[in-house]
Structure 1
Amino acid sequence: MTHDANSKAQTGCRPDPTAGKRVSFGGLKDKISYSDKDFEDIDPDIQEMFYGRQDDDDRP
């Protein structure tokens, strides 16, 4: 491992796991919107994830 002029660890192509991550809050503000109505119905993808496909013959 080498150090550059700023004394940051250089590990080649792999990122340094000890380096801090920059966190940004509100980056998608005003870019994503939803309505409460979007969450009223059962999501078929979530149902399938927990209970399997509706057309499976081995379902109880």
Structure 2
Amino acid sequence: MRPTCSKSDLPEKICVVCQRPFTWRKKWQDCWDEVKYCSERCRRRRSQAKNDS
């Protein structure tokens, strides 16, 4: 049996749009360094975030 990692040990980032923390997901395992947004919604709203600042 493979040892598992607890969810509290997963890396975290702050979303550049909503400023909320989000944790690593398996689907991001190959591109975690490039991930900036916590969700599709925030990715679509990225231009609005640039206009607000």
Same fold at TM > 0.5:
no
- Bigger strand share: 2
- Bigger helix share: 2
| TM tier, smaller | under 0.3
Q: Which of the two has higher C-alpha Rg?
A: 1
Q: TM-score, normalised by structure 2?
A: 0.26
Q: TM-score, normalised by structure 1?
A: 0.24
